[in-house]
């Protein structure tokens, strides 16, 4: 029996149409059949999954139901998982077995999910194509010659291929939304602080945010409630009340949203992508939404600001990987300085080294004011742009990416072109805003995503608009190879 959504799976389990062991086994078999081609997973956790499935089946027999009882899920390999390798897609952590669970993992475990395995990703979340992983590139299930996007490409590809019903991801500059767009699924980046970052291996601490991949918006609403909320172990975690997103999506009230379209998101847009985008705008207008042009004049500087702020923070965060305490340790060092140098040279890939060097330079004496401080000022201008726009509109939309997925290897020797893949997504991270990508159509048989951006902690209206849009369209129901 095949189920299409998280909600259908949870209903089938509750009604005892399938046991959790049967369901888990089915997904593990799907992964075995397809992952050699896609390379979505770094580590499989079959024994853990089946033991947990048996435990949940026993609970269900006693009429004890957790919120997400029996739901299979794939976890991005950036979240620490107790007793399981957590590699962050890097040789540096290829031998690291985490002694504890990240808060996101802990909450999902407590809710009754079944972890199928840890998904492939760009090394330390640095990349837009999932080609920088120590474990090789992930393939896009719509066409395996193309990238799935990054850094959460393994999580996105697994959900798009239907070998996992849902997955976790992280978004520092678009690393959930961009792969969701390129793989034709839903990807939600919550407000900064909505979901705890404890146990999520840091890239850029002021930008990183945990989120989700699903096939439809309603599933994202179900899962978001379970992973959200204040965490005393994370000083940046918010105590803002967590609403029932699922109930809000399903209530009878249909808001007449005023939706802003930034000129900056469409003026240089590829004509084919522009047509698909404005077809989506027409759908929203038919639904009763009012469309308004807004100005986000500083978002064009978002990639430049991001490429100073993020590497600066990464150069600090990755200093802990020195070959001494944990992770890769070179066997060729004769003294402590050599140990640092050789362990990092051997353990880090090219893109990680590039960003560490850029960040160290930006923070160095004589350059801090010229680069890092100026980037932070630009970041504030971008945040002000959004604040001013949200005085006039309820939500902001645009294309998630400037184009469809590109071929594997096409941009690996052109870092600037790679960074520009995130041109429409980085500004929301700089401003700490929630945003979501949902399927809006195709170009040359490859999916494209519609990005919906909301005010701080307004995930409920992003999810509701996404849900209402998906009631009017069929794009989210399309599957690779069908």
Q: Is 368 part of a structural domain of the chain?
A: no
**Catalytic (active site) residue 374:** no
**Catalytic (active site) residue 82:** no
* Annotated active-site residue in 90, 98, 128, 151: 151
Q: Is 264 part of a structural domain of the chain?
A: no
Q: Is 335 part of a structural domain of the chain?
A: no
pLDDT at 2: 67
* Annotated active-site residue in 19, 90, 167, 175: 175
End-to-end CA distance of the chain: 18
Residues 237-267 have pLDDT tens digits of: 999 999 999 999 999 888 899 999 999 999 8
Query: Any residues with CB less than 8 A from the CB of 25 and at least 6 apart, and which?
Result: 50, 53
CB atoms within 10 A of CB 59: 16
Q: Is 110 part of a structural domain of the chain?
A: yes
Q: Is 277 part of a structural domain of the chain?
A: no
Cis peptide bond upstream of 151, omega within 30: yes
Of 259, 295, 308, residue with least CA distance to 382: 295
Q: Identify the band that residue 1 occupies on the pLDDT scale cut at 50, 70 and 90.
A: low
Q: Is 409 part of a structural domain of the chain?
A: no
Q: Is 91 part of a structural domain of the chain?
A: yes
Among the residue ranges 71-85, 325-339, 399-413, 421-435, the one predicted with the least confidence is: 325-339
Residues 169-190 have pLDDT tens digits of: 999 999 999 999 999 999 999 9
For range 414-432, the mean pLDDT:
93
* Average pLDDT value over all residues in the chain: 96
* Annotated active-site residue in 76, 107, 139, 189: 76
Number of folded domains that form the chain:
1
Q: Is 87 part of a structural domain of the chain?
A: yes
pLDDT at 436: 98
Q: The domain containing residue 17 runs over which residues? A: 6-258+435-477
pLDDT at 254: 81
- pTM here is 0.96
Q: Identify the band that residue 25 occupies on the pLDDT scale cut at 50, 70 and 90.
A: very high
Which sign does the torsion angle of CA 303, 305, 310, 311 carry? positive
**Catalytic (active site) residue 76:** yes
The CATH number assigned to the domain holding 140 equals: 3.90.1300.10
For range 225-239, the mean pLDDT:
97
Residues 271-314 have pLDDT tens digits of: 999 999 999 999 999 999 999 999 999 999 999 999 999 999 99
Q: Identify the band that residue 332 occupies on the pLDDT scale cut at 50, 70 and 90.
A: confident
Of 406, 20, 464, residue with least CA distance to 254: 464
For range 153-159, the mean pLDDT:
98
């Amino acid at each position: 029996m095949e189920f299409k959504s998280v909600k259908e799976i949870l209903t089938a389990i509750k009604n005892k149409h399938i046991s959790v062991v049967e369901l888990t086994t089915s997904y593990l078999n799907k992964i075995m059949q397809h992952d050699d081609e896609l390379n979505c997973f770094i580590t499989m956790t079959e024994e853990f999954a089946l033991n947990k499935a048996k435990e949940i089946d026993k609970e269900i027999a006693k009429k004890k139901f957790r919120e997400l009882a029996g739901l299979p899920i794939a976890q991005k390999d950036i979240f620490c998982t107790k007793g399981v390798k957590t590699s962050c897609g890097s040789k540096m952590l290829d031998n690291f077995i985490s002694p504890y669970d990240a808060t996101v993992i802990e909450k999902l475990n407590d809710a009754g999910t079944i972890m199928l395995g840890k998904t492939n990703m760009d090394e330390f979340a640095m990349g837009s194509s999932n080609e920088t992983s120590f474990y090789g590139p992930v393939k896009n299930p719509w066409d395996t010659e193309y990238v799935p996007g990054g850094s959460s490409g393994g999580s996105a590809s697994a959900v798009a291929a239907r070998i996992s019903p849902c997955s976790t991801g992280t978004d520092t500059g678009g690393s959930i939304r961009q792969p969701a767009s390129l793989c034709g699924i839903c990807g939600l980046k919550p407000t900064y602080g909505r979901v705890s970052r404890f146990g999520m291996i840091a890239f850029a601490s002021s930008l990183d945010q945990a989120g989700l991949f699903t096939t439809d918006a309603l599933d994202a609403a179900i899962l978001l409630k379970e992973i959200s909320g204040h965490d005393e172990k994370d000083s940046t975690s918010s105590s803002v009340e967590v609403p029932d997103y699922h109930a809000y999506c399903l209530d009878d009230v249909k808001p007449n949203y005023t939706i802003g379209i930034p000129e900056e998101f469409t003026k240089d847009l590829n004509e084919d992508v522009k047509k698909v985008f404005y077809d989506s705008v027409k759908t929203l207008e038919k639904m009763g939404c009012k469309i308004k042009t807004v100005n986000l004049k500083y978002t064009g500087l978002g990639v430049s600001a991001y490429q100073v702020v993020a590497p600066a923070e990464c150069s600090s965060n990755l200093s802990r990987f020195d070959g001494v305490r944990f992770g890769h340790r070179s066997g060729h060092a004769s003294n402590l300085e050599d140990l640092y140098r050789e362990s990092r040279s051997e353990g880090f890939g090219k893109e990680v080294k590039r960003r560490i060097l850029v960040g160290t330079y930006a923070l160095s004496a004589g350059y801090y004011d010229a680069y890092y401080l100026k980037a932070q000022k630009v970041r504030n201008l971008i945040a002000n742009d959004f604040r001013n726009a949200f005085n006039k509109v309820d939500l902001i939309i645009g294309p998630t990416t400037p184009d469809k997925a590109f071929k594997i290897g096409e941009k690996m020797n052109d870092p600037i072109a790679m960074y520009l893949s995130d041109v429409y997504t980085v500004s929301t991270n700089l401003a700490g805003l929630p945003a979501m990508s949902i399927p809006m159509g195709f170009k040359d048989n490859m999916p494209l995503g519609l990005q919906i951006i909301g005010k701080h902690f307004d995930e409920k209206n992003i999810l509701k608009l996404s849900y209402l849009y998906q009631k009017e369209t069929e794009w989210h129901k399309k599957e690779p190879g069908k």
